[in-house]
Amino acid sequence: MFIDTHMHEMTYSKDSFLKLEQMVELAKLKGLGGICITDHDSMGLKEYAADYSRRTGFPIFVGIEFFSLQGDIVAFGIDDYPKERIPAQEFIDLVKGQGGVCYAAHPFRNNNRGLEEHLLKVHGLDGLEVLNGSTSMEACRTAAEFALELGLFTMGASDCHVPEKVGVCATYFPEEVHTMQEFLSIFKKGGMKPALYDGKTYHTIDIRSSTVRENLESYCYATCVRT
């Protein structure tokens, strides 16, 4: 099952041009099994998304992209979150205290919003985003190398704000996911793989099968993963 795990909807992410209904329609066309709304520092869409998911039968999981003092962290399975920026470690501890999961978003993007070398200082992250549809291949490759070094789960996502970016990258989940509880349970087991959409279907990338450079350069092309 493929899920785009990092997406922005315009109601609470003011830099997005996407409405939820459009995101679901595009996701279905590309063969995604579910989507995640991870708005900037907000989970305000949670109730509306849950209702829309029930009405359409399409899984929608609402998390958050929280801008910690050291960089962006995507989290799921929490009810409470800070209304102001706090250190990355404090946010990770908060997520874990609520039974949630979290991963570093685009950790090496060149906009000062990634954790970068702070990855070596924090503890408790579940994974790293090693494919991001709005981040350079070089930054994705560095993230993959850190994921290998740190033994963290590898995630892929579009980080979409515009229609053409929906689903360009996603994460393969080894089991079907329909509820947030299932999402958290399966996420904690691991086995996820980053994936890229080639215009017809998704291709997973196993960064452990050969060199990171060979894997990423085989699948990343300029119209998909770019700055």
- What is the band of 208 on the pLDDT scale with cuts at 50, 70, 90? confident
Strand partners, 175: none
Average pLDDT over residues 80-96: 98
183 torsion bin: left (phi>0), alpha (psi -120 to 50), beta (else) = alpha
Q: CA angle, 122 as apex, 113 and 37 as ends, to 5°? A: 50
CB 201 within 8 Å of CB 217 = no
Tell which phi-psi region holds residue 190, choosing left (phi > 0), alpha (psi between -120 and 50) or beta: left
> pTM above the 0.95 mark?
no
Domains of the chain plus CATH, in order, are 2-219 (3.20.20.140)
- pLDDT for 113-145, tens place per residue? 999 999 999 999 999 999 999 898 899 989 999
The answer for residues whose C-beta is within 8 angstroms of residue 75's C-beta and 6 or more apart is 63, 64, 66, 81, 91, 95, 100, 101, 102
pLDDT digits (tens, 9 = 90+) for 11-61: 999 999 999 999 999 999 999 999 999 999 999 999 999 999 999 999 999
| Rounded Cα gap, residues 110 and 85, in angstroms | 20
pLDDT at 182 over 80: yes
Can you tell me the distance from the alpha carbon of 195 to that of 28, in angstroms, rounded to the nearest whole number?
16
Contact 215, 186 (CB under 8 A): no
